[in-house]
Amino acid sequence: MQEPATAPWGLSISDADVEKLKAGLEPKDQDGKWRISATDQSQSGNISVHLARSGTGKEVYILIMKPNDGRSSGSGAEIEAIIWEQNKAGIHITEEQAKKDVVIITRGLLGRDFDALPGYDVSDLWNYPTGEIGAN
């Protein structure tokens, strides 16, 4: 990423969603636009989930996920933070839009639930009404 930004998220997710994110996604052919992979950060216990464009390999989003300790009801995990590319071809991407994009992409490709979040229309993906053209 050339101009990464990081923001806290604090989003609780289910065990099923954790497993889907950890399993990731390899595109089946050249029509697949995204590659999703997970990396254990063994020292911290966190898991990094990387969303990259399959054609270029360029990372666009990274989620930092911390598995719950299992003492509370349902273990699951928390997405503690998101890292995203702020500058997409001269359009400044806000935190809110980055989070929305990740939800739409992972729901569509992995069938994730994100029960705690509203349903977003797939047309909201790459639709940046709040983006600032030419912002750095």
Query: Per-residue pLDDT tens for 10-67?
Result: 988 888 888 888 888 887 766 668 888 898 876 777 899 999 888 888 899 999 999 8
- DSSP E strand stretches across the chain: 4-13, 34-41, 46-53, 59-67, 77-85, 87-88, 91-92, 132-133
Q: Has residue 134 been placed in a domain? A: no
Q: Does residue 112 form part of some domain? A: yes
* The model's pTM: 0.78
Q: Note whether residue 135 is domain-resident.
A: no
The chain-wide mean pLDDT, for the chain, equals 78
Of 24, 11, 124, 1, which Cα lies nearest the Cα of 77?
11
Mark residue 10 as left, alpha or beta (left: phi above 0; alpha: psi -120 to 50; beta: remaining): left
What's the number of domains the chain is made of? Answer: 1
At 133, the pLDDT band (50, 70, 90 cuts) reads very low
The range of the structural domain enclosing residue 60 comes to 4-124
Whether 131 is in a domain gets the answer no
Reply yes or no on whether the pLDDT at 73 is more than 80. no
d(CA 26, CA 35): 5
CA atoms within 13 A on the CB side of 104: 14
Q: How many residues does the chain have?
A: 136
Task: Judge whether 97 lies within some domain.
Answer: yes
In a domain, 78, yes or no: yes
